[in-house]
Amino acid sequence: MARVALTWLAEPGNRIVWQLVQAHGAEETLDRLIGGDIPEASLRAAVASRSSSGDPRRVAEYALRRAQRLGARVVVPSDDEWPTGVQSLATLELDVGGRISRDVRPPLCLWVRGSRPLGDAFERSVAVVGARAATPYGLHVTADIAYGLAEQEWTVVSGGAFGIDAAAHRATLAAGGFTVAVLACGVDRPYPVGNAALFEQIAESGLLMSEWPPGAEPLRHRFLIRNRVIAAATAGTVVAEAAARSGAVQTMSRVVALNRRAMVVPGPVTSAMSVGCHELLRRYPQARLVTGVAHVLDEVGRIGEYLAEPARGGDHVRDGLDEESALVLEAVPRRGIAGPEQLAARAGLGLRTVLRRLSLLEIKGLVVRRDGGIALAALARTPVARTDTPPRTRFPA
């Protein structure tokens, strides 16, 4: 109850409130704040102003009753299910300065709808976030990544916004996976209302979570405060699309400062909704370019557990050949035969090397001995054929 009241008196993340709670406990801190014993002027003024509109304890009791009717619970750090990741916010120091950047301390409590314990839900979790005004491209990539994460039994975490957030939740639900929506308003308050049905689905098979009590408004600055919880509670954050100067930069600065995996999906340079992504990749050396779920799993998975396969071109017969063998194979005429000396001259290699490489090529079934010379085997013929536009896969301009 004291933690609920404190969250009402000062917005979550407040550094001074958090320090007082650490030093004296929530009950005593609440007494101090209500008594006006506050070591900072701006907090003192904010608390006084808030107190003048109601009794903090009664507000908290009302919120708890409302939550009970709703089937929501409040979770505090001493609970078994408290997600340990958010505690990293206790020591987070951001370089950027300014009031908000200092006020990134851990939540005092979390309101939850959904049955799974928080800690369990966040243990293997990745945030997938991005623009509201997402493009079909961004929605497609988001759905692919979220679906793939769900298939590998990773929890997908996002906000509740239109666009990328909603796409991430929907794809996770479609995969039968587990999704968490971290809201900047009460868990009983569908915001945006267009996502109301989605929130109900998430509450049933996933989790709705918020630092603010039921009924709380989605004030603009609360999104900023909320974002730190998404960054801290998960193993990493994927930004799927972001406009120029979007909040993705703020999110990523925290992800990086928290030593979580910062992942960014690139897009067409002609798309306004990828400008922010490209800015992130240019600004943060720690941000990793990811093009799909394999790369994401590669970042957040235990080393070796998920190893993204290198991108592959067509399976040309030359693949896997060393450079010398490739040169020799290239030197073999398309039609007819050639002697080893001719091949050596054409390939610019020594005769001994050519003979050694020919043995290898023969074993691989790429060349055959015929009429006292060397000819291309049928297997090697098509891709080796020199045309106006030789395949560029190995030797491109």
> ω into residue 192 within 30 of 0, thus cis?
yes
Nearer to a copy of itself, 51 or 201 (CB): 51
Site for a copy of itself in 201-220 (CB under 8 A): 219-220
Establish how many alpha carbons lie within 13 A of residue 271's alpha carbon, considering only the half-sphere containing its beta carbon: 19
Total of chain residues touching a copy of itself, rule CB under 8 A: 105
DSSP 195: G
Q: Which of residues 54-93 bind a copy of itself (CB under 8 A)?
A: none
Q: Rule CB under 8 A: say whether 95 interacts with a copy of itself.
A: no
Q: For residue 396, give every residue at least 6 positions away whose Cβ sits within 8 Å of its Cβ, in sequence order, or none.
A: none
In the bound state with a copy of itself, the residue whose beta carbon lies nearer, of 172 and 227, is 227
DSSP-assigned letters across all residues of 91-103: S---TT-SHHHH-
Q: State which residue, 73 or 110, has the beta carbon closest to a copy of itself.
A: 110
307 binds a copy of itself, rule: CB under 8 A = no
* Single residue of 16, 43, 216, 232 touching a copy of itself by CB under 8 A: 43
Of 282 and 302, nearer to a copy of itself (C-beta) is 282
- Mention every residue, 6+ apart, whose C-beta is less than 8 A from residue 310: none
Residue 82 or 367 having the CB closest to a copy of itself: 367
Site membership for a copy of itself, residue 392 (CB under 8 A): yes
Interaction between residue 245 and a copy of itself (CB under 8 A): yes
Helix (H) or strand (E) holding 157: strand 155-158
> Residue 336's CB: how many other CB atoms inside 10 A?
11
> Which CB atom, from 56 or from 73, has the smaller least distance to a copy of itself?
56
From the list 70-78, 87-95, 118-126, 327-335, the region that binds a copy of itself by CB under 8 A is 327-335
Tokens 């039968």 appear where?
176
Q: Which residues of 355-378 are buried (b: 16+ CB within 10 A; e: fewer)?
A: eebbebbeebebbbeeeebbbbbe
Q: Say if strands 373-376 and 207-210 run parallel, antiparallel, or are unpaired.
A: unpaired
Question: Which of 42, 153, 155 shows the shortest CA–CA distance to 102?
Answer: 42
Shortest Å, Cβ 382 to a copy of itself: 15
Q: Which is nearer to a copy of itself, 91 or 389 (CB)?
A: 389
Who contacts 323 (Cβ-Cβ below 8 Å, separation ≥6)? none
94 binds a copy of itself (CB under 8 A): no
By the rule CB under 8 A, 350 interacts with a copy of itself = yes
Considering only residues 133 to 192 of the shown chain, the ones binding a copy of itself according to CB under 8 A are: 133, 137, 140-141, 158-162, 165, 184, 191-192
* Of 69, 99, 302, 335, the one binding a copy of itself by CB under 8 A: 99
Q: Which stretch binds a copy of itself (CB under 8 A): 24-32, 253-261, 316-324, 360-368?
A: 316-324
Binder to a copy of itself among 121, 209, 275, 366 (CB under 8 A)?
Answer: 275
The C-alpha atoms of residue 211 and residue 230 are separated, in whole angstroms, by: 11
- Residue 279 near a copy of itself by CB under 8 A: yes
